[in-house]
Amino acid sequence: MTDRLVPRLLATLAATLLLAACRGGASSPATPPSQPSATVSGSAPPTPVANGLPSPIAPDPGGAVAVIRSTVTAGNPRLLPTYVPSGMTAIVRAAQASYTVRYTDDPHAREITLTVNEGVNPPPYVGSGSQANLQFRGVRTLYTVYDATAPVSQRYLLWHEPGTWSAAVTSMPGIEYFLSATGLTEAEFFRVAFSLQPVG
C-alpha cells in the first residue's frame, strides 16, 4: 500500500506546485523601473525616520548623484565614486548635512559604503588586522584592514576632506569621510577610492 501511496502523494504535490506557479505567473513580474522614481530624482523629499535620516531609496545606480545634489545642501565637496565594480547598485540615505551610499551586488558578496559627516566610530581590528596612516587626497588618512591574510577582507579609509560644512560632526577641520568595503581586493578598493569626485 505504501508503494502505491508515494507516487500519488508526489503527483498531488506536483499538481499543487504547478497550480501555484500558474497563479503566480498570472500577475506581472516585478521589474525595476526604467526611469528613476520621483524620490530618487530628488523632486520629492525622502520620508524622515527617527534618527534624522530619510528612509532608504530604492536601488538605482544613476540616482545617487541627483539625490545627493538636491538633498545634501550643508556644504561641499559632496563626493561620490565614479567607479564601482559592475553588477552593483546603490541605496542612498541623505539628509541636509550628511549622507550614506551603500553599493552592493545581488548576492551581497561585495559591499561598498560611503558615509559622510556622520561621526563614524568603526570597531577596532584584532589579530591579523593592520592599520596605517596614508596620504590620500592630500590629507592624512587612516587605512585599516581587518584581516591582512584574507585578500577580500573588510577594509576602510577614514579622513577629513578639506572643505566647508555647516554642521560638522567633529572638532577637526574639514568633512569626515568614511569609505569601507567587504568582498573587494585592495586594488579594487583603491580604484573606487581614487575615483571619488565632487557631485557639483
Asked whether residue 25 is domain-assigned, the answer is: no
In the predicted model, what is the mean pLDDT of residues 146-150?
96
**Domains: count for the chain:** 1
Asked whether residue 17 is domain-assigned, the answer is: no
Which three three-digit cell numbers place residue 94? Answer: 541623505
Asked whether residue 184 is domain-assigned, the answer is: yes
Identify the domain containing residue 160 by its residue range: 38-198
Kindly report the pTM of this predicted structure.
0.69
- DSSP result, 117-169: SS---PPPP-TT-EEEEEEETTEEEEEEES-TTSTT--EEEEEEESSEETT-S
pLDDT band at 6 (very low <50, low <70, confident <90, very high): very low
Q: Hey, how many other C-beta atoms are within 10 angstroms of the C-beta on 120?
A: 17
d(CA 141, CA 144): 10
Per-residue confidence (pLDDT) for residue 131, from 0 to 100:
96
Environment class of 30 (CB within 10 Å of its CB; exposed 0-12, middle 13-18, buried 19+): exposed
Asked whether residue 9 is domain-assigned, the answer is: no
> Residue 155 forms beta bridges with which residues?
145, 181
Asked whether residue 166 is domain-assigned, the answer is: yes
Asked whether residue 16 is domain-assigned, the answer is: no
pLDDT tens-place string over residues 93-145: 999 999 999 999 988 899 999 999 998 899 988 889 999 999 999 999 999 99
CATH of the domain at 144: 3.40.1000
Q: Are 146 and 137 in contact (CB under 8 A)?
A: no
Element (H, E) at 81: strand 79-81
pLDDT tens-place string over residues 17-53: 333 333 333 333 233 222 222 222 222 233 333 344 4
Whether pLDDT at 14 is above 70: no
In the predicted model, what is the mean pLDDT of residues 131-160?
96
Asked whether residue 194 is domain-assigned, the answer is: yes
Asked whether residue 48 is domain-assigned, the answer is: yes
